[in-house]
A and B are shown apart, each in its own frame.
Chain A
Amino acid sequence: MELLHATDVSKSFETGEGPLQVLRGVSLSLTAGTSLALTGESGSGKSTLLYLIGGLDVPDAGHIRIAGTDIAGLDDPGRAALRRGTVGVVFQQFNLIPSLDVAANLAFHARLSGRHDAAWTAHLAERLGLSALLSRFPEQLSGGQQQRVAIGRTLAAKSELVLADEPTGNLDEATGDAVMDLLLELVSETGAGLLMVTHSMRLAARLDRQVGLRAGVIA
C-alpha cells in the first residue's frame, strides 16, 4: 500500500536578501513497511521537506498524499489530526516535554491520539531500555536516552508514518547505531513506514532505499 506520495513539491522562504527557493519540484513515494533515507548536504532542504510531509508547514505548490489523503486540502485542525493519528515526527533534539517525566512523555502522543495501550508502551520501554528511567525528567537524561524516549513516544502512538530528522545526529557512533537498530527493528515489527533524514551514508545504507536532495530536486 502506498503510504506517502509527494509530487512536484516546491517551497521558498522570504529572507533578508529576497526569496530563497529551497525545494523546486520534489517527488518521492514510500510504501508501508519500508524505509527510505533522505540525504543531502547541509542547507539542501531536507528538514524543510520533512516538515512539509509532516504537515508542520505548507508547500507553495505540489501535492502530498498520506494514506490516501491530500494534505494540501487540509485546514489547520485537519493537519493537527493527521499528526495525532498518522504521522510521528522525531526531531534532531529538544523532542521531549521538559515538565513531564519519561513515563508521561512516552505515553503522551498515544494519549493525544486516544490510542494509549499501557502494555504496548511498557513493552516499548523495555525494548528501548528505558524501564529504569521512567520517573526521571528529560533534563536528567543523556542525549541518547532522550532520543530513545522520542522514538518510543512515536511508536507508542502506533503512527503509520515515522518521520525522523537526523535522530542520531547528536549521538556518538556506538549509541547512534544502537538507537538505529532499535528504530529499524521496531518499525518493521509494527509495519510502519520510515522516512529518515541523515548525513551519514553508512546509516543511509541500512535503510531499504536512499534518495538524495540536491539543488532543490531529488537527484
Chain B
Amino acid sequence: MIRAGAQALWSHWARHRLQLLVVIIGLALATGLWTGVQAINAEARVSYDRAASALGQTNLQQITRADGPLRLADFVALRRAGWLVSPIAQGGLRGTGLEVLGFDPFTAPQGAAVPDLRGAGDLSAFLVPPGVVFVHPETVGRLPDGLPPARVLDTIAPGRLVTDLSIAMQLLRSDTLSSIIVLENQPQGRTPLSDLDASYMLSAPSEGSDIARLTDSFHLNLTAFGLLSFAVGLFIVHAAIGLAFEQRRVLFRTLRALGLPQRALVGLLAAEAFVLATVGGSLGIVLGYVVAAALLPGVAATLSGLYGASVSGSLSLSPIWWLTGFVMAYIGAAAAAGSSLWQLSRLPILAPAMPRAWARANARTARIQAFGGLGLLTAALILGVAGDGLVAGFACLAALLLGAALLVPTALTLIIRGLSRFGTGVVTRWVWADTRQQIPALSLALMALLLALSANVGVSTMVGSFRGTFIGWLDQRLASDLYVTTRTPAEAAAFQDFVADDVHAILPIISADITLGGTPGEVFGIKDHATYRDHWPLLEGAPDVWDRVAAGTGVLVNEQLARRDDLWTGATLTLAPDWRMQIVGVYSDYGNPAGQAIIGYDTFSARFPDISPLRFAISADAPAALRDRIVMDFGLPPDNTINQEEVKAFSLEVFEQTFLVTRALNVLTLGVAGFALWASLTTVATMRLPQLAPVWALGLTRRHLATLEMGRALVLALLTAVLAVPVGLGLAWVLLAIVNVEAFGWRLPMQVFPWDWAQLLLWALVGAALAAALPMRSIAKLPPSELLKVFAHAR
C-alpha cells in the first residue's frame, strides 16, 4: 500500500522535472550560501588561533629583562637555576614580509603548533645545518633563495617560517632572543627570579586573540548576510514545495478516495521533503565549499590588511560546518513543507477538490498575512527603540525583514489598485486586474526578491558607512606620521636622542591599566599638542575640552565606556576610589572592546610616577626614510614601527577587498532571487492558460500577450525594488545602530548611497527581464491547440 502510494506521489516529480530542479536548487542555494559564509568564518577563526598560539605564548607566562634584550646566556642561567623555560627568536625576514619563528625542540612545550619531530631522522635534519624550515603550503611560493630546505605543514600560520632557534637567529642576523616562555609545571626549589638577576621580570600571558575580537564585527556582518541568503533560499523552496502541493491537490483527493490513510499520505510527503532536503543539502554543501573557496582569498586579503590577521587562503573541510549545513537544509525543508503538510493533515478529503473553499481560505490567509506583517513591523519598531541587548537587536532585525516580506503582496495589490485608475483602455484595465490576480501566485518569489534587494541595500550601506567612517577616523586617530614602540625605558631614552634631529614633534604615548566602571580598562596621558587639538575624533566635547584636559581638570572617555556606563560629557568618571574627574568629551575608538580614558600628561605622571613612556608618536618630513633608519640603524624590530601612510593605504585597499566580497555575495543573493522569480513565472505560466485563452480567443495575438507578460514582470520587480530601499535602510540602521552597538560598544554613523540604489533598481529590472524571458517565449510560441484545450472541458 505504502509502496503504491509512494510511487503515485513521487511520479509527480518525474513528470515535473523543472519543478524538482527548482526545489533542489532552491535548497542547495539556501544551504550553500549559509555554509559558505560559515566556512569562511570558521576558517578565519582557526587561522587566528593558529597564529596566536604558535608556541603557547598566549597562555604561558614569559620572562623579559627590564634593562634590554634577552640573550642565550639568560636562557642558560635560568635553566641552571632550575627553571623550565624555552627560548624563542622571532622577527621579520628582511625584504620578504615573512616572519621567522625559531624554537628549541628540546625545551619547547609539546602540543601547540610545534612540528612533530619524532619521526626517524627528523630531529637531526632539523638541528644539523642547513636545517629545515616548516611553512604553510601557501607560503612555499613566497620563500626567497638561500633558505634551508622547506617542509610543508598545514598547522603553521601562513607567512611564517618555523625553524630551529640557532638557524632562526642566523636568518634574523641577531644574537638576541625575543622571549623566554615559562612552562606550566615548574619544579620545586628553583632559585627565585629576583635572586638571579634583579632586572628579570615575569610577565602575564600575552593578550590572546585580539585579532579575533577585532574581526568579530566583520564576521558578524558575514553571518547576518549568510542568514539573509538562507531566508531568500527558503522562500524559493517554500514556493516550489507549495506549488507541488497545489498541483497535486486532485491527486491527494484521488489517493485518499482510494483508501490511502491520511497519516500515510502526510508521512509520505514528509519523507519526500526529507529526501529533497538531503539531496539539496548535499549539493548545497558542495556549493558552499565552492563559494567559500572562491571568496576566501578575498576575505583573507581583507582580514590580513584590515587587522594584520593572517588567514589561510585555502579551505579545510570541517565536519561541523557540513553538519550544520544539513541541519539548516532540514530546518529549511521543514519550514517550507510544514505549513502545507499541516494544512493537508487538517483538510477533509473532499476539500482539495473544491477550489472555491481554497480561494476563500486564501483571501483570509492574505488578510492574516498582512496583519501579521504589520504586527511584526510594529514589534521591530518597539524592539528598535526600547529593546536592550544583542538578542533584542537580532529579534528586531528578524521582525523587520519578515514583517516587510509579509506585507509585500498587500502593498503591491494596493499600489496596483492605485495605478489602475490611470488606465482607461480595455486591455490596460484587463492587464491591471490580471496583474493583481497574479500577485498571490508570485508572492513568495516577490518576497524573496524583496529580501534579496533589501539585504543588498542594507549590507552595502553598512559596508559603505564602515569604510567612510573608518578611513576618516584613521586620518584623525593616526595624525602623526610614525608610531614607535620601544622595549625598555633605556631604549626609549636612547630612541628620543636618536630621532631628535629628524622630527617636528615627538609625542610620548603613555598608559596604565586601571579599572574603569568595574572592568579592566586603560588610562592614557597625552601632551597638549595641535596633533590632538586638531585631529582627535571627538564625538562630543565641552568647548574648552583640550584646555581642561591639559589643566588636569577634565578627562576624555571612549565611546565604548560612555555607552556602557552611560557616562557622557558633564558626568563624573571614577578612575580610582579617591580619584574622580569630570568628563569633558567622548571620542570614537573603533575596534577596541575595552573602556579607555585620556588625561593630561602631567596629571598622569603625578599619578603614576613609576611609568615612563615607551611609545612615541612622531611627525617628520620623511617618515619612510626615518623608519628605515630606526629599523636598520637603531635596531628596533620592524613591527615596532608603524607608518600611518602605509596603514591608511592598506586600509583603503582592504576596504576595496571587503567591497569585492560583499559585492560577490550581493550578486549571488540577487541571482538566487532572480532564480526564484524565474521559477515562479515559469510554473505560473502553465497555470495561466485559462486566463490567457479567453483573451486570445477575443482577438489579442500571442505576441501581444507575451509582451504584456514581460511588462507585468518588470512592473512587479520595479515596485518590489522601490519597496526594498526603505527596508534595506532600516536593515542597515538596525545593524549599525543596534546590533553593532550591542555587540561591540560603538556605533557607526550611517551614510547613504543613492547612486547604488539606482544601480540596484536597474539590476532588479535586468533580473526580472531575464526571469521572464523564457516564460514569455513559451507564451508567444504556444500552439493554439493548447489554448483550445481550455475550452474543451476535458483535460
A residues with CB within 8 A of B: 51, 54, 56-57, 76-77, 80-85, 88-89, 91, 93-100, 104, 108-109, 111-114, 137-139, 142-143, 146, 153, 170
Contacts and interface: CB of A to CB of B under 8 A. Distances in A.
Interface stretch (B177-185, B258-266, B532-540, B756-764): B258-266
Interface string B569-596: 0000000000000000000000000000
A165 to B, nearest CB: 11
Interface stretch (B112-120, B249-257, B503-511): B249-257
Nearest to B10: A99
A80 to B, nearest CB: 4
Nearest to B258: A109
A77 B263 contact: yes
Contact of B261 (A81, A100, A137, A146): A81
Contacts of B350: 51, 56-57
Contacts of B250: 94, 98
A91 B353 CA distance: 11
The 9 closest A-B CB pairs, nearest first, are A84-B259, A83-B259, A111-B4, A80-B261, A143-B794, A99-B11, A99-B15, A77-B261, A99-B12
A138 B795 contact: yes
B258 A83 contact: yes
Contact of A89 (B1, B5, B257): B257
A80 B262 contact: yes
A123 B172 CA distance: 94
Nearest to A84: B259
Contact of B11 (A56, A57, A97, A139): A97
Interface in B248-293: 250-251, 254-264
B349 interface: yes
B259 A112 contact: yes
Contact of A57 (B3, B255, B348): B348
Interface on chain B toward A: helix, strand, loop, or mixed SS?
helix
A133 to B, nearest CB: 15
Interface of B: 1, 3-5, 7-8, 11-12, 14-16, 250-251, 254-264, 348-350, 353, 793-795
B179 to A, nearest CB: 72
B794 A142 contact: yes
A127 B794 CA distance: 23
A100 to B, nearest CB: 5
Contacts of B256: 56, 80, 83
Contacts of A96: 254
Contacts of B7: 100, 104
Nearest to B264: A80
A100 B350 CA distance: 21
Contacts of A91: 257
A143 to B, nearest CB: 4
Given A57-B350, A76-B262, A89-B257, A114 B8 contact: no
A84 B1 contact: yes
Given A76-B263, A80-B264, 19 more contacts: A54-B257, A56-B256, A77-B262, A80-B259, A81-B261, A83-B256, A84-B259, A85-B259, A88-B258, A93-B794, A94-B353, A97-B251, A99-B16, A104-B11, A112-B259, A112-B260, A137-B15, A139-B795, A142-B794
B8 A100 contact: yes
Instruction: Select the residue from A96, A111, A113, A146 with max chain B CB neighbours within 10 A.
Output: A111
Given A57-B348, A57-B350, A113 B259 contact: yes
A104 B4 CA distance: 9
A99 B794 contact: no
A108 B258 contact: yes
A113 B257 contact: no
B262 to A, nearest CB: 5
Nearest to B348: A57
A170 B794 contact: yes
A159 to B, nearest CB: 10
Given A54-B257, A80-B261, A81-B261, A170 B793 contact: yes
Contacts of A56: 256-257, 349-350
Nearest to B251: A97
10 contacts: A57-B350, A83-B258, A83-B259, A93-B794, A94-B254, A108-B8, A111-B4, A112-B5, A113-B1, A143-B793
B109 to A, nearest CB: 66
A114 B258 contact: no
A113 B8 CA distance: 14
Nearest to A89: B257
Given A100-B8, A111-B4, A81 B15 contact: no
A97 B348 contact: no
B1 A97 contact: no
Nearest to B5: A112
Contacts of B793: 143, 170
Contact of B254 (A82, A95, A113, A146): A95
Instruction: Select the residue from A80, A85, A113, A137 with max chain B CB neighbours within 10 A.
Output: A80
A81 B259 contact: yes
Contacts of B264: 80
Contacts of B251: 97-99
A76 B795 contact: no
Contacts of B353: 94
A104 B261 CA distance: 20
Contacts of B4: 108, 111-112
A73 to B, nearest CB: 17
A99 B263 contact: no
Given A76-B261, A80-B262, A98-B251, A114 B794 contact: no
Contacts of A139: 795
A153 to B, nearest CB: 8
Contacts of A114: 1
A95 B253 CA distance: 9
A76 B348 CA distance: 10
Given A94-B353, A99-B8, A99-B14, A112 B261 contact: no
A84 B11 contact: no
A83 B253 CA distance: 12
A167 B1 CA distance: 26
A82 B259 contact: yes
B519 to A, nearest CB: 62
Contacts of A98: 12, 15, 250-251
Instruction: Select the residue from A81, A82, A94, A98 with max chain B CB neighbours within 10 A.
Output: A98
A84 B4 CA distance: 12
Contact of A80 (B11, B260, B795): B260
Nearest to B8: A97
A51 B254 CA distance: 13
A146 B794 CA distance: 10
A112 B258 contact: yes
Nearest to A88: B258
A88 B257 CA distance: 8
